[in-house]
Each structure stands twice: as structure tokens, then as C-alpha cells.
Amino acid sequence: MYDLIIIGAGPSGLTSALYALRANKKVLILEENIYGGQIVNAANIENYPGILSISGYEFATNLYEQVKSLKAEIKYEKVLKVEEDKHVITNKNTYQAKAIIIATGSKNRKLNIPKEEKLIGKGVSYCATCDGNFYKDKIVAVVGGGNTALEDCLYLSNLASKVYLIHRRETFKGDRKYLEEVKSKKNIELVLNQTIISLNGNNKLESITLNNNEVLAIDGLFIAIGQEPHNDIFSNIVDLDDNGYIKTYNDVETKTKGIYAVGDTRVKSLRQLTTAISDGSLAATLAIKEMEN
């Protein structure tokens, strides 16, 4: 029996672990893929108080090492179900805890157009920092209007010969600072008020067609249109909103006593590293208080 099981090893989950381990609790972290969550893809974090600039990968690795140094138990298993009595069933085992923190973040949103799945790794990517290197001196496009899309454009403009930034409106969600930088780059071309209606090419992406029927010949397409949660497996123990985010009460408590939700996966007004860290520390503190009462 664990004191606490944390599902997800992104910034919020690892922060919960840090607080619980420092309180001498027996903690298990379950992670489906690799540690760090979405932040590992951020080229530079410059809005985390007290840190001038750090890459997302370095931030996540520091946090992971900090938690590992406290002898955290981390298992790479996929959670299939969580019971109200706090049994956690994975693809390999069943575990039990006194409290559970859901920190599953969100996954890349898809364009949901034909051939998108088929061309992943063959010209379609969701991660510029992971795959950008394959497009040295080639022509690429980025779709999206948030900070991820703007950062991806800047990153790719140093590798590719040309970068199209395709956005479905004229105004951007991303920071003005990044947008100004994007506009100042000679090899980035803004394509506004357009959506992608088709991906062309069979075994490899060759071009894209826009909704004005223009065809752009490109070698790579980076899809950066935000994230969405995948919380269906928790629907027996939490309430979900219309977009699939977990509803929380009194900050980070779910409708089930002893089960908390933190970070990007819950309903909240600001999804940032700072708020993920805040959620993680709060949930661990509440869980510890509850089990010591």
C-alpha cells in the first residue's frame, strides 16, 4: 500500500511527488511515456519566476532528478482504470494507495484531416524541437497561432530554408514578443485566415492545400494547435466538463474524496508551468493533511 499514487510525471505530478517525499510519504509515480510532459518541447521558458531562461527539457530533467534523489519510485506503465477505493489498474499491475493525484496533462490536438495519422514521421510532426533537424534547408509549414506555433517557427527558421506560418485568423493567441520576432525573420511567411484542407502525398508529405485552394509545396508540417485532455478512463471517479477536463472543487479536489487533479488536465483559467507547479504542491499538501488526520 502506497500513501500516494501520482498518475503522470509532468511538472505538476513531479511537484506533488517532491512535496510528498519530503514529508516522508511512500509515493509511486506512474508514467505512460517519458517524464516531463509537454514542457520538454518548450525551447525556452522565460516566464518562470526566478529563472531568467531555461529550456523545457532542462527544467523537466532538473525536477525529475530532484525527485529521484529523494528515492521516488517511478514505474513506466499505462493506467487503465482507477477505482473509487483507490486501486489503480495498469497494463502490468494493480496498486493501492491512500490518496491519488491525477496529473495526466494533455496531448497534442490533431487537425483531424485525412492522412494526418498516416503521414506522422513522414512529413507530419507535432514537435519542432524533436524533428526540426530532419528539415535542414527544406521548406516547412507550422500551423497554429499560440506560443507553441510562434516558438516552433522561430526554431525552424534557423534550420529550414523557408517556414510558412499558417493561422486560421489574423490575431494571435501567442505573446506579442514572439510574434514581432517571427515577423522580423526574412524566411518566415505568414499565411493568415487559412486552414489546411488536405495533406498531399502518399508515403511522404509533398504539399498541403489551403481552403482558398492554394497548394503549398512543403517537406514538413508542424502541427501546433494546442492540446486536449484524455480523461475518459477517469469518468467513474471525476466529473468532466464538455471539453473533457476534470472539474475540481476547493482548488484541486475532485468529487471523490482523496482523489485530486492537478495541472493542465483540470478545468482552470490559466494553463502555465507556474500554475501546474502550484497545483502539484497544493494537492500533495492537502493529501498529506487528510491522511494524517
Nearest to ligand NAP of 213, 293 (CB atom): 213
Q: Of 150, 105, 79, which Cα lies nearest the Cα of 13? A: 105
Do the bridges between strand 124-125 and strand 220-223 make them parallel or antiparallel, or are there none, so unpaired? Answer: parallel
Q: Is 153 a catalytic residue?
A: no
Are 196 and 174 spatial neighbours (Cβ–Cβ below 8 Å)? Answer: no
Map residues 203-232 to x or -, x wherever contact with ligand NAP holds by CB under 6 A.
---------------------xxxx-----
CA distance 173 to 171: 7
Residues 67, 267, 255: CA angle, nearest 5 degrees: 85
Q: Of 208, 201, 221, which Cα lies nearest the Cα of 160? A: 221
Q: How far is the CB of 239 from ligand NAP (least distance, A)?
A: 23
Residue 145 binds ligand NAP, judged by CB under 6 A: yes
Q: Which of 6, 14, 28, 149 binds ligand NAP (CB under 6 A)?
A: 149
Map residues 10-49 to x or -, x wherever contact with ligand NAP holds by CB under 6 A.
--------------------------------x-xx-x--
DSSP letter (8 states) at residue 34: -
Q: How far is the CB of 211 from ligand NAP (least distance, A)?
A: 11
Are 26 and 119 spatial neighbours (Cβ–Cβ below 8 Å)? Answer: no
Residue 280 binds ligand NAP, judged by CB under 6 A: no
Q: Which of 75, 78, 92, 169 binds ligand NAP (CB under 6 A)?
A: 169
164 beta partners: 141, 189
Residues 52-111 that bind ligand NAP (CB under 6 A): 109, 111
Q: Of 54, 272, 278, which Cα lies nearest the Cα of 146? A: 272
Nearest to ligand NAP of 227, 248 (CB atom): 227
Residue 148 binds ligand NAP, judged by CB under 6 A: yes
Q: Which of 3, 85, 127, 239 is catalytic?
A: 127
Residue 165 binds ligand NAP, judged by CB under 6 A: no
Q: How far is the CB of 164 from ligand NAP (least distance, A)?
A: 14
Q: Is 130 a catalytic residue?
A: yes
Q: Is the torsion defined by CA of 63, 69, 74, 76 positive or negative?
A: positive
**CB-based contacts of 231: which residues, under 8 Å, 6+ apart?**
102, 104, 238, 240, 244, 245, 246, 265
Q: Which of 127, 185, 271, 281 binds ligand NAP (CB under 6 A)?
A: 271
Nearest to ligand NAP of 21, 150 (CB atom): 150
Nearest to ligand NAP of 77, 152 (CB atom): 152
* Region binding ligand NAP by CB under 6 A among candidate stretches 95-103, 165-173, 236-244, 278-286: 165-173
Nearest-Å Rg of the Cα atoms of the chain is 21
- Provide φ and ψ at 203, rounded to 5°: -95, -5
Residue 132 binds ligand NAP, judged by CB under 6 A: no
Are 56 and 40 spatial neighbours (Cβ–Cβ below 8 Å)? Answer: yes
Residues designated catalytic: 127, 130-131
Which positions lie near ligand NAP, rule CB under 6 A? 42, 44-45, 47, 109, 111, 143-149, 151, 168-169, 173, 195, 224-227, 271-272
